[in-house]
């Protein structure tokens, strides 16, 4: 079966929320193949510890591709301890220029508690406006919900959980089985 004929893996919603000196990254657990749910308890949010760096990351896209990118990010963090921005830019440059990495189909949201970035295969390292970032099939739903909640009295984790709940009610490729990681600035 040709790659363009393959039904493809769908389904992920990842959100990052920065509020009150804390960053929360939350992700759902659903993995779908076409219209079939293959797994409902996948962990798409991870804590990375590389050298002196403590970073949380969430991924959308191909799992194997995302793990490859997370391993590369850890190596970049080991080479530039405590410099998430630099490590992220170096990863994005490699991803864009390396013939092997160019084929990887995933996106990342990463944070060290102070900074929050979306990293893409197009070479982007984006710091989101309004302290909220979201990726994946339900990302726009979660993003809209979180942005609406940012002015409320809710903390970062409550906003992320509520936004993910709303996204899971709208996006058929997103479930309510969450993995949540928190990091302080």
For the annotated catalytic residues, the residue numbers are 12
Q: Is the dihedral of CA 125, 126, 131, 134 positive or negative?
A: negative
Give the integer Cα–Cα distance in Å for 139 and 58.
12
Give the integer Cα–Cα distance in Å for 154 and 4.
43
Q: Do you know the residue count of the chain?
A: 185
Residue 120, classified by CB atoms within 10 Å of its CB into exposed (0-12), middle (13-18) or buried (19+), is middle
């Amino acid at each position: 079966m040709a790659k363009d004929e393959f039904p493809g893996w769908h389904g992920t919603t990842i959100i990052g929320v920065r509020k009150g000196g804390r960053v929360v990254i939350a992700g759902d657990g659903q993995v779908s193949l076409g219209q079939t749910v293959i797994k409902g308890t996948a962990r798409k949010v991870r804590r990375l510890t590389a050298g002196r760096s403590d970073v949380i990351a969430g991924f959308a896209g191909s799992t194997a591709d995302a793990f490859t990118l997370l391993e590369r990010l850890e190596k970049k963090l080991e080479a530039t301890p405590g410099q998430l921005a630099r490590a992220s830019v170096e990863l994005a440059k490699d991803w864009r220029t390396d013939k092997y990495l160019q084929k990887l189909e995933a996106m990342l949201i990463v944070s060290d508690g102070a900074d929050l970035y979306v990293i893409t295969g197009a070479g982007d390292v984006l710091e989101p406006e309004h302290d909220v970032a979201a990726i994946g099939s339900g990302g726009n739903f979660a993003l809209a919900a979180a942005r609406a909640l940012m002015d409320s009295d809710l903390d970062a984790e409550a906003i992320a959980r509520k936004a993910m709940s709303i996204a899971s009610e709208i996006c058929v490729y997103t479930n309510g089985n969450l993995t949540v990681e928190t990091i302080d600035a």
